Amino acid sequence: MQFMLLFSRQGKLRLQKWYVAHPDKLKKKITRELITTILARKPKMSSFLEWKDVKVVYKRYASLYFCCAIEQNDNELLTLEIIHRYVELLDKYFGSSIRLLAQKHCILVCELDIIFNFEKAYFILDELLVGGEIQETSKKNVLKAIAAQDLLQEVSYGDVPIEL
């Protein structure tokens, strides 16, 4: 995967994760163009598009678009499920498992969670994907890793191994 973007229906970027080195200027350009392209697509269209030299896979969850740029050989359908797994993890972590996965009126809450706890959203993503490849597909294991981190949060520690 080359990068992942989360943006709102209004085109506001909520999270960006780059697995390839691009200068900032280029990142901004790609982001801008891709957001416009995707927002212009209609709901019944396929979740895949050829865009420049990458394949783009995207899916909308409530007010948020999750969008991944993948390599020519990567599996599109499974990329959709990487997105889904990430959504599940966010939902589970930020509390009730409604929100992104549920009806429209609850939705804003989750986008807000991501805005106000953006650093957490990044930490969770880092447990799911490293270097653009899936690191851990088990939901339980990812949540365990995040919980272990949270446990460490305010504890000033000696160098003691923590059982995972």
Partner 1 sequence: MPAVRGDGMRGLAVFISDIRNCKSKEAEIKRINKELANIRSKFKGDKTLDGYQKKKYVCKLLFIFLLGHDIDFGHMEAVNLLSSNKYSEKQIGYLFISVLVNTNSDLIKLIIQSIKNDLASRNPIHVNLALQCIANIGSKEMAEAFGNEIPKLLVSGDTMDVVKQSAALCLLRLLRTAPDVVPGGEWTSRIVHLLNDQHLGVVTAAASLIDALVKRNPDEYKGCVSLAVSRLSRIVTSSYTDLQDYTYYFVPAPWLSVKLLRLLQNYTPPAEDPGVRGRLNECLETILNKAQEPPKSKKVQHSNAKNAVLFEAISLIIHNDSELPLSVRACNQLGQFLSNRETNLRYLALESMCHLATSELSHEAVKKHQEVVILSMKMEKDVSVRQQAVDLLYAMCDKSNAEEIVQEMLNYLETADYSIREEMVLKVAILAEKYATDYTWYVDVILNLIRIAGDYVSEEVWYRVIQIVINRDDVQGYAAKTVFEALQAPACHENMVKVGGYILGEFGNLIAGDQRSSPAVQFQLLHSKYHLCSPMTRALLLSTYIKFVNLFPEMRSQIQDVFRQHSNLRSADAELQQRASEYLQLSIIASSDVLATVLEEMPAFPERESSILAVLKRKKPGRVPENEIRESKSPAPNANHHAEAPASITGAVNNTSADLLSLSTPPSSQPTSNTGVLLDVLGDIYNMPNKVATNGAQNTYNPKKFVCKNNGVLFENDLIQIGVKSEFRQNLGRVGLFYGNKTQYALHSFQPQLSWSEENQQKLAVQVKPVDPVLEAGAQIQQMINAECIDDYSDAPSTIISFIYNNVPQKITMKLPLTINKFFEPTEMNGESFFARWKNLGGANQQRSQKIFKAQQPMDLAQVRTKLQGFGMQLLDGIDPNPDNFVCAGIVHMRAQQVGCLLRLEPNKQAQMFRLTVRSSKESMSVEICDLLVDQF
Q: Work out whether 11 is an interface residue with partner 1 (CB under 8 A).
A: no
Q: Residue 8 Cβ, how far from partner 1 at the closest point, in Å?
A: 12
Check if the beta carbon of residue 56 is closer than 8 Å to that of residue 34: yes
DSSP 30: H
Instruction: Tell me if 92 contacts partner 1 by CB under 8 A.
Output: no
Rounded to a whole number, what is the largest CA-CA distance in the chain?
Answer: 54
* Least distance in angstroms from the C-beta of 32 to partner 1: 10
Cα–Cα distance list, 163 to 120, 147, 156 (Å):
22, 12, 17
User: Least distance (Å) from partner 1 to the CB of residue 79?
Assistant: 9
The whole-angstrom separation of Cα 82 and Cα 135 is: 11
- Residues near partner 1, by CB under 8 A: 13, 15-16, 19, 21-24, 26, 28, 42, 44-50, 53, 72-73, 75-78, 80-81, 84-85, 94, 109, 112-113, 115-120, 122-123, 126, 130-141, 145, 148-150, 152-157, 159-162, 164
